[in-house]
Structure 1
Amino acid sequence: MQTRYRAGPPPLVVVPGMLCDRALWDDVAFPRGHDVHHVPLRRAEIGALAEDVLGTVRGPFVLVGLSLGAIVGFEVLRRAPERVAGLCVMATNAGAPRPEQYAAWRELDGLVAAGRFADVVERTLPGMFPDRTPTPRAARRYRAMAHAVGAGAARAQLAAQATRTDAMDVLRAARCPTAVLAGARDALCPPAFHRAIARAVPGARLTLLPDAGHLVPWQRPDAVSAALHDLVAAVGTAPSGADDSHLGTTTSTRRK
């Protein structure tokens, strides 16, 4: 359902990654005074998911996405750049799928179709964490979230992954304040992917997190919270066109 946007602080539209839901953001302190809208990933095509995001609110908003959620965000930016007042992406890849990724997604989909969704959760679990070694508590937390997402949504997300395209041209044309966060120990989306994104977007700010893997909002909620507070402040002061005032790269060492 679309929510009418009123004058004032722009809402945040938050999109999780594959096998993730709004629980991904439970530890994040979103900026006060901004409505927060969570968009689930339940459709099998990136364009359809982007339309879900655009239909969540009216008017401009700050888009926050992790992994597949950020990829959906790139498509939103392609379709309606005037709607995106600010962009925060993390643990993601702006490139087109590689042949080995198509093969991996087909294999995972086959497992889900055969009733082996639990096996898919276990296969994906190590890559979510630094050095592929989650604590028992972190592993339990991921399993609970993935199973809450469920097999049907997982198949839709796998199909959607295969419809994504290279987004670097979109990023080079972006003119909104942008924050890019990368876990230095992310085995799925390493820092190089994020450096490319930050180089493409005029004025983007890249934050490297030495002790984080793929699930940045769980592993460094303090850094995500700080990035969002800085981003909405930049959105509030950004003039029309590109905003270069927040240009730079930081390495975050703060812990919650």
Structure 2
Amino acid sequence: MSKTVKLAGTAGAFVVAGAAATLLNGRQRTRRRRRRGEDVEFGTVRSDGLTVVASDGVPLHVEVDEADRKTPTIVFLHGWVENIDIWHYQRLALRGQVRMVFLDSRSHGRSGRASVTRSTLADLADDVLTVIDQLVPRGPIVLVGHSMGGMTIMQLARTHPELFGRRIKGVVLLGTSSGQLMRTSPALRYLVPMLRTGAPVLDWGRRFNSYSVIRRWGLGPAAAERHADMANEMILQAPTHVLVDFYPNFVDLDLEAGLAALGRARTTVVGGTADLLTPVRHSRRLADLIPDAKLVVLPDVGHMLMFEDHEAVTQAIEDVLADVREDM
């Protein structure tokens, strides 16, 4: 048999195996979705979308949940390969009680794609400024950020410290880090070889056994199946280029220069003891370095803490909100 025929046969088998795996995964996802038993279906908590154009022309998808009381406004910033659906439980719990702004970060969710050179934390922080200027031009603000969203807040504090304590009165940092992630994050070390193989292989591999991978690396061991399934569904919506384009932000991450400014706002740091992406030691370090920060540690909770222990996360946000309102 010629080498060409062998290669063709191997490639054909690979394609057939991939198609079969995709079909099987699709059926499994459907069964898991049916078993969720949700009161409100995941992905349906929405309001009319707005488009805010970033400084470099990228269209940013934003949704605003209005409330009778117009201030303060909470601005929610999601993490890497996530979208605004990560706030499913918090949005339901707080709806009508406070004005909320939800931003799909550039290249994520319904926002437009940014170039690889404009996929930095500095660009994300600039996007937050643009959204604030257009949608929250006055009144106090509470920023809530998960993972990369928390890093975006720290980047904003580094470049615009004057906003903290003046306009930004409260901050909640969820499952995030100010640096040294590559040395301490088992999940990121696991991801590096996959990123180096290239996007086509990643596209196929992500769908081959995505649920098991996300459950292993993204959630704690006691996480409910529905929460792992919600995370899987959301993350698979992110194109593979988002993984590749934003990954360099975490290699030499160092955001400690902005932490002193965060202390001017009422700041709470929340971390899970089973988080393999941003281990809880990073939350503890943040709480130590941010003046007067409060630390909330969630036992056996992984990186998707907004799903896994959504009541505790919502409570942390409500506590900061109450403090900000008391000072108004």
TM > 0.5 fold call: yes
* Matching residue's letter, 1:158: Y
After TM superposition, give the deviation of residue 120 of structure 1 in Å: 4.2
Query: In the alignment, which of 73, 93, 98 is matched to residue 33 of structure 1?
Result: 98
Q: Distance in 2 between matches of 1:177 and 1:206?
A: 12
After TM superposition, give the deviation of residue 198 of structure 1 in Å: 0.8
1:5-154 equivalences under 5 Å are: 8-28=70-90, 29-30=93-94, 32-42=97-107, 43=114, 44-58=119-133, 59=137, 60-81=140-161, 82=163, 83-98=167-182, 106-120=192-206, 122=210, 123-131=213-221, 135-154=224-243
Aligned 8 A contact 1:62 1:87 in 2: yes
Indicate the SS of the match to 2:295. Answer: strand
After TM superposition, give the deviation of residue 27 of structure 1 in Å: 1.2
Indicate the SS of the match to 1:18. Answer: coil
Structure number with the bigger relative contact order (C-alpha 8 A, sep ≥ 6) is: 1
Unaligned runs of at least 5 residues, structure 1: 240-256
After TM superposition, give the deviation of residue 135 of structure 1 in Å: 4.9
- TM-score of the aligned structures, taking structure 1 as reference length: 0.79
Q: Distance in 2 between matches of 1:235 and 1:88?
A: 12
* Matching residue's letter, 2:150: A
Indicate the SS of the match to 2:157. Answer: helix
CA RMSD of the aligned region, Å? Answer: 2.8
Unaligned runs of at least 5 residues, structure 2: 1-51, 54-61, 63-68, 108-113
Which residue is equivalent to 2:270? Answer: 181
Indicate the SS of the match to 1:211. Answer: coil
Q: Distance in 2 between matches of 1:100 and 1:212?
A: 17
The answer to which structure has the higher helix fraction is 2
Task: Identify if the C-alpha distance between structure 1 residues 26 and 19 changes in structure 2 by more than 3 Å, giving closer, same or farther.
Answer: same
Aligned 8 A contact 2:182 2:250 in 1: no
Q: Deviations over 1:191-246 (max 9, x none)?
A: 2211111111112111111131110100111111111111112222348xxxxxxx
Which residue is equivalent to 1:207? Answer: 296
Identity %: 23
Aligned 8 A contact 2:84 2:102 in 1: no
